[in-house]
């Protein structure tokens, strides 16, 4: 490696931040300013505005089930546009810059399309360009597989591209520029009383991201934690300091709950009156896994006359496929039937402080009950509690929990 870690910064700009030519010029100005004090800058960009959604719409206008390879070849192009434009804007401002696609930047992924994980980075070209004094603008969201084909790494994945590069290049920090000025106690667009956090631990951020806080891609937090990359989530529209994501949050030891999330696209499947014998759950969830369906919360009701129900949640987009698989399993094992509930939301509270404070779950359930919100399923980890509720109750539940745990008072 040519450079010392402390000399290199990775800055990632999301879709809104590069949403139009003006915004791209503004981003170029910000990068130019950073360049005054930081010699080596790698910039990672998302596609402009809603470009990726539009590309996906286009794909479905020509095919009901787009070929995976061509789908990725198409939806990865949004990032090519913004990277080239930003490099041009930088050059126009007198800052020598070059854009690199995922493949050019040496970002290798698994062979599977649409949600490929990054497997390795060969940073030789990036170092070479930095050596030449260039700001290197890399496309987020994309890489190359062993067939030399372009892959994409999952919606919102540019955050992960940035953190992977920061880890590989030994950057001192990875700045995530977005359209909010940091990580809030919950989505400030849903709960206006949400408060910006000065810092948050990797573990809490990982739970929040996995439970629906869209502000960071879950895998980016995983990678940051593994490689000890400090993240600074901040706004590309202001100069204000944002939220630091790091090892420990030194604050609020007494605070049991740090944040809350809502996922509004859940669905529930119940397989009824299953024979209570070993191997049934194993069979069902193996079949679902084989169909690449992600199962989230699971409950098995206690046995009544040697039979029980198994209930689980999935993303609503998998409901049709998951129902078919479950119906098949129900026939195999002689279960009474399969029931579905397509309109479910999952509301969660997260905080490392809940480990040492009993009664948090009880309080959550009581708040929901007091407001007549029925809990369909519960799941917990050491630092989070999630409840599945009717989708129409989701936003109200989030607001009630935010109030009850006084997250607006942080
Ligand atoms: P980008 O295009 O910059 O990657 P995203 O739309 O992916 O931006 O993520 C930013 C959005 O995340 C915000 O506009 C906000 O509505 C949403 N969000 C959800 N939960 C949170 C949270 N806890 N803190 C901040 N933003 C959140
Ligand atoms: N453009 C991609 C998406 O919309 C990746 C990203 O924005 O992070 O999902
Ligand atoms: Mg994003």
The ranges assigned to domains in the chain are 5-179, 259-409
Which numbered atom of ligand 1 lies nearest the CA of 236? 3
**Ligand 2 centre from 110 Cα, in Å?**
18
CA 103/CA 259 separation, integer angstroms: 37
220 or 4: which carries more pLDDT confidence? 220
Strand order in the sheet with 118-121: 118-121, 107-109, 142-144, 150-152
Which numbered atom of ligand 2 lies nearest the CA of 217? 8
**Ligand 2 centre from 111 Cα, in Å?**
19
CA 144/CA 109 separation, integer angstroms: 6
Q: CATH: 3.40.1160.10, 3.40.50.360, 3.40.50.720, 3.60.20.10. Which one for 5-179?
A: 3.40.1160.10
| Helix or strand holding residue 208 (H, E) | helix 202-210
Per-residue pLDDT of 336-347, as tens digits, reads: 999 999 999 999
Nearest ligand, measured from the Cα of 178: 1
Q: Are strands 384-390 and 377-381 parallel, antiparallel or unpaired?
A: antiparallel
47 pocket-lining for ligand 2 (C-beta < 6 Å): yes
CA 208/CA 259 separation, integer angstroms: 7
Q: Which CATH fold topology does 259-409 show?
A: VC0802-like (3.30.2130)
pLDDT recorded at residue 250: 60
pLDDT recorded at residue 6: 47
Surrounding ion ligand 3 within 5 Å at CB are 14, 156
Per-residue pLDDT of 255-274, as tens digits, reads: 889 999 999 999 999 999 88
How does residue 4 score in pLDDT terms, banded at 50, 70 and 90?
very low
CA dist 255 → 26, 186, 279, 355 (Å): 38, 15, 42, 11
Pocket perturbation via mutation, ligand 1, pick of 20, 187, 207, 408 by most ligand atoms within 8 A of CB? 187
350 pocket-lining for ligand 1 (C-beta < 6 Å): no
Which numbered atom of ligand 2 lies nearest the CA of 161? 8
């Amino acid at each position: 490696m040519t450079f010392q870690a402390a000399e290199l910064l990775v800055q990632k700009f999301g879709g809104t931040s590069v949403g139009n030519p003006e915004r791209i010029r503004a981003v170029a100005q910000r990068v130019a300013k950073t360049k005054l004090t930081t010699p080596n800058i790698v910039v990672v960009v998302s596609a402009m505005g809603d470009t990726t959604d539009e590309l996906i719409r286009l794909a479905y206008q020509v095919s009901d089930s787009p070929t995976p390879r061509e789908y990725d070849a198409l939806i990865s192009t949004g990032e090519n546009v913004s990277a080239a434009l930003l490099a041009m804007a930088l050059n126009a401002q007198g800052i020598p810059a070059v854009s690199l696609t995922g493949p050019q930047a040496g970002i290798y992924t698994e062979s599977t399309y649409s949600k490929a994980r990054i497997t390795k980075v060969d940073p030789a070209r990036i170092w070479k360009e930095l050596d030449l004094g260039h700001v290197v603008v890399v496309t987020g969201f994309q890489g190359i597989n062993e067939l030399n084909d372009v892959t994409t790494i999952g919606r919102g994945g540019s955050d992960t591209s940035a953190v992977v590069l920061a880890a590989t290049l030994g950057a001192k920090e990875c700045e995530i520029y977005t359209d909010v000025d940091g990580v809030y106690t919950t989505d400030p667009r849903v709960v206006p009383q949400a408060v910006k956090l000065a810092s948050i631990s990797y573990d809490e951020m990982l739970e929040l991201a996995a439970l629906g806080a869209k502000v960071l891609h879950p895998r980016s937090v995983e990678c940051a934690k593994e490689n000890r990359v400090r993240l600074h989530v901040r706004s590309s529209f202001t100069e204000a300091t944002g939220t630091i994501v790091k090892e420990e949050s030194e604050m609020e030891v007494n605070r049991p709950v740090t944040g809350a999330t809502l996922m509004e696209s859940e669905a529930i499947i119940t397989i009824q009156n299953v024979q209570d014998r070993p191997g049934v759950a194993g069979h069902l969830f193996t079949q679902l896994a084989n169909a690449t369906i992600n199962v989230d919360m699971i409950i098995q009701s206690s046995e009544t006359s040697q039979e029980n129900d198994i209930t689980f949640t999935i993303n609503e987009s998998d409901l049709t496929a998951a129902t078919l698989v479950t119906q098949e399993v129900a026939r195999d094992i002689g279960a009474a039937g399969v029931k579905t509930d397509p309109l479910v939301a999952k509301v969660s509270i997260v905080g490392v402080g809940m480990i040492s404070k009993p009664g948090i779950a009880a309080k959550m359930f009581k708040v929901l009950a007091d407001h007549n919100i029925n809990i369909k399923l519960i799941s917990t980890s050491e630092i989070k509690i999630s409840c599945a509720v009717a989708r129409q109750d989701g936003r109200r539940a989030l607001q009630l929990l935010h109030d009850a745990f006084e997250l607006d008072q942080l």
